[in-house]
Amino acid sequence: MQGLHFNRWLLSPAYHPTSKNARTLGHPNKHHSQLLSFFNSFSNTNLSNTCFTGTTTTTPYSHCFYDHLLKSCSSLEAIKQIHSLLSTTGFIGVNPHLGAQVIIKYSKFGDCGSARFLFELIKGCNSFLWNTMIRGYVNAGQCQQTLELYSLMRRTSITPNNYTFPFVLKACALKLLIMEGKSVHVDAIRNGFELDMYVEAALADMYAKCGEIDDGRRVFDGMQRRDLVSWTAMITGYEQADRGVESLALFQQMQQEGLVADSVTVVSVASAVGQLGDVLRARSVHANVIRNGFLEDIIVANSIVAMYAKCSDVKAARAVFDGMITRDGITWNSMLSGYSQNGCATESLLLLDQMRFSGVRPNPVTALIVISACAYLGSLHLGRKVHTFIISSKVEIDTMLSNAIIDMYAKCGDLDTAIRVFDNSIASERNVSSWNVMISGYGMHGHGKEALELFSRMQAEGVEPNHITFTCLLSACSHAGLIDEGRKCFDYMRTKLFMKPLVKHYACMVDLLGRAGLLKEACELIAEMQSEPNDGVWGALLGACRIHGNADLGEFVAQNLFHLEPEHTGYYVLMSNIYAVSNKWHEVEKLRRVMKSRGLKKPAAFSVIEFGKEVHGFHTAEQSHPQSMEVNRKVQSLATEIKMVGYMPDISCVLHDVEEEEKEHILNWHSEKLAVAFGIMKIDPGIPIQVTKNLRVCSDCHSAFKFISYVHKRKIIVRDANRFHHFQDGFCSCKDYW
């Protein structure tokens, strides 16, 4: 009966020698010689008894022979030939195991269409073959087809079993389909498999990967038997949910139960340690990796490099990197990212040169890292160089990289190029981040109205704003002094778009109101907050107190900040400045003693300027620069020149209790003045002088630069800790509002 069934199948139109399927799967006549050659590659196989006559093949070989043949198959063409032979011999019609092997092989080689075609011919009511096809789909990454076949299986009344559910749950996990996963969970319970070890492990993994880590933990805690795969799934789930403490606690519990971590577990543990920034634990993990011989695994070594970088131990990360015999693109990117994350942007760019010479091709992630490093440095020269390198290396510029390039140009002071890159990008490929980056760029350069116009254009093109959009908008309004517009944006977000303002939005509004001197309104807004104000909110208000010299309110705000961030040097310095401006030198001295007792130091002012391919740095009262004598003379000369056209030194910027004459002398040696003087000396008159300072530019330097731009007819661009100032013809782009 089975033979008769097989003959009808063989003679059906689907397998007719001239049919499309015969050409796809391979007709026996066509491949006899190829099969003989293929089979002869098996040294222990005697083919002398095999006879091929016309379209009929007879063979004495057993199922074991074909099973071995299938397991040894290493190409799609070979599996098609074996499939053809099995079809003519009839084995595939009577042996579900061989049919399953063919289905799996087709799926492995990416031909799920042929796998499904064979499955439809032989599936019957055998759950084994259904499970095989489901497995083939999910292993090929075709998750939607997996779920559709599972749904068909249920409608066909084929009962799923403990082999079915793990593969279906894997498909849900891969595509983060939590609702479908929960439905499969219900099916597993209905069919009595909720306590099966493999089903439970798959459920825990599915919930963890879909972000429902607590549900996954409940399943995990209920398991009677937990293998290493289950433990690793939960440890990884916590790590991916940014819950590093729980991830490491679970890892410790796993060790206490006698399980030894494998390389997969170690990668997740290293990432969790990196999240916590715990360098002592990082060294412990590193030692464990060395002891177990995992460091030879490039994936593990990459994770150790990334772990040390996130723990701010760049030297240890580089030591592991240098010790790796084999490196891939991820290795280089991890080290590049480590440098950039830890403020070592120069080292990141030097490493890029080494990467190029090593022959490893940079990818969009590499480009993203180094472009971000250029943005951090504020180096327009390097930024342009890297952008050119990206184009010449034919790195694919996707939306994320395009956004980073726009951001880099904006942060390096070249807003015109940032606008040009944005406008030249394909409109359909812009996402909300593209618009946010450009709005932020306008804001940091003080172009608040342009930022608002771009927001209107964004809405007209149907792009939905998000929380970051409004952070950028409110910041732009703050830098430009657009009080009413800022209030309208804040109100629009709440009442029209029904977005609940986050703490960062309140911080922007407090900054906006505070800069404008509306301290009472800013305090009232803080009182309205449903959540506790953080250091960002109080810090914005303290900054406003400094601008407007309100020492009483400043003291109240500072106490909140010292409680929230007792180790943040900047807040002590800010309050000290408020006292100094109010001539409360006794209070200044008290704060300085507190800082000293806590080991806190005021950050030194530092300014950099590019000249050609070199970057020159200046500290306040710089004496170590090779041309410091000439620069000092130029500063004094500039001070004399600008006094003749109305400049008056603002001695309130000197936060030391010294004589007024000494205060004026101190003002001359501010780092940004030294950098600008160097620029006047060295940079051609037609080229803007661009300076980057690590702290806020003081009001005296701000005034001096307006006069210098007028007297010398030079454009001066200063990027400080808050924003850009463009000085030209005696005016600043900030309109003296910063």
Q: How far is CA 222 from CA 204, 239, 461, 468, 673, in A?
A: 10, 21, 51, 41, 68
Condensed to tens digits (0 to 9), the pLDDT of residues 327-365 reads 999 999 999 999 988 888 889 888 998 998 888 888 999
**Are the C-beta atoms of 734 and 446 separated by less than 8 Å?**
yes
Q: Provide the b/e sequence for 526-549 (b: ≥16 CB within 10 Å).
A: beeeeeebbbebbbbbbbbbbbbe
Mean pLDDT of 109-119: 88
Report pLDDT for 60.
Answer: 44
Whether 224 contacts 231, CB under 8 Å: no
Mean pLDDT, all residues of the chain:
86
Tally of CB atoms within 10 A around 215: 19
Residue reference for tokens 């300072």: 693
The per-residue pLDDT for range 410-422, each reduced to its tens digit, is 999 999 999 999 9
Convert 461-476 into a string of H (helix), E (strand) and C (coil).
Answer: CCCCCCHHHHHHHHHH
pLDDT of residue 661: 65
| DSSP H/E element including 645 | none
Q: Which of 720, 674, 729, 713 is nearest to 446 (CA)?
A: 720
Query: In the structure, what pLDDT confidence band is assigned to residue 81 with cuts at 50, 70 and 90?
Result: confident
Residue 281's pLDDT band, with cuts at 50, 70 and 90, is very high
Query: Would you say residue 7 has pLDDT above 50?
Result: no
Residue 89 structure tokens = 């011999």
The full DSSP string for 442-456 is HHHTT-HHHHHHHHH
Side-chain-facing half-sphere of 722: CA atoms under 13 Å: 18
Residue 16, pLDDT > 70, answer: no
Give dist(CA 148, CA 175) in Å, integer: 14
* Cα–Cα distance, 512 to 540 (Å, whole number): 9
| Top-confidence residue, 207 or 427 | 207
Do 161 and 189 touch, CB atoms closer than 8 A? no
pLDDT > 50? residue 55? no
- Angstrom CA distances, 522 to 399, 487, 493, 545, 722, stand at 38, 12, 18, 11, 20
Q: How confident is the model at residue 125 (pLDDT cuts 50, 70, 90)?
A: confident
Q: How many residues does the chain have?
A: 738
Given a cut of 60, is residue 36 above it in pLDDT?
no
DSSP assignment, residue 313? -
Cβ-Cβ contacts under 8 Å for 12 (sequence gap 6 or more): none
Q: What is the pLDDT of residue 188?
A: 94
Nearby residues of 43 by Cβ (< 8 Å), 6 or more positions away: none
Q: What is the pLDDT of residue 563?
A: 92
* pLDDT for the residue 624: 76
Confidence of residue 17 (pLDDT cuts 50, 70, 90): very low
Q: Which of 134-148, 347-361, 515-529 has the lowest mean pLDDT?
A: 347-361
Q: Tell me the pLDDT band of 67, cut-offs 50, 70 and 90.
A: low
What pLDDT digit, counting tens, does each position of 286-299 carry? 999 999 999 999 99
How is residue 725 annotated by DSSP? E
Other CB atoms within 10 A of residue 350 CB: 12
User: Reduced to 3 states, what is the DSSP secondary structure of residue 550?
Assistant: coil
Name the percent of the chain in helix, strand, coil, to the closest 5. 65, 5, 30
Spatial distance between the Cα atoms of 381 and 373, rounded to a whole number of angstroms? 12
Helical (H) or strand (E) element with 419: helix 415-424
User: What is the predicted pLDDT for the residue at 655?
Assistant: 63
The residue that leads in pLDDT, 211 or 267, is 267
Residue 56: pLDDT over 70: no
**Interior CA angle at 143 toward 140 and 147, to 5°?**
130
Whether the Cβ atoms of residue 403 and residue 434 lie closer than 8 Å to each other: yes
What are the tokens at 104?
């799996």
Asked whether the predicted pLDDT for residue 49 surpasses 60, the reply is no
* DSSP H or E run through 609: strand 606-611
Q: Residue 719, SS3?
A: strand
What is the pLDDT at residue 696? Answer: 87
**pLDDT bracket for residue 393 (50, 70, 90):** confident
Please tell me the distance from the alpha carbon of residue 210 to that of residue 184, in angstroms, as a whole number: 14
pLDDT in the model for residue 376: 85
Token pair in block for residue 546: 């400094």
pLDDT exceeds 70 at position 59: no
∠8-9-10 over CA atoms, to 5°?
95
**CA–CA distances in Å: residue 404 to residues 94, 166, 367:** 60, 40, 9
Q: Is the pLDDT of residue 40 over 90?
A: no
DSSP 241: T
Mean pLDDT across the stretch 616-638? 86
CA distance 486 to 470: 10
Amino acid 356: pLDDT: 85
As beta bridge partners, residue 716 has: 689, 727
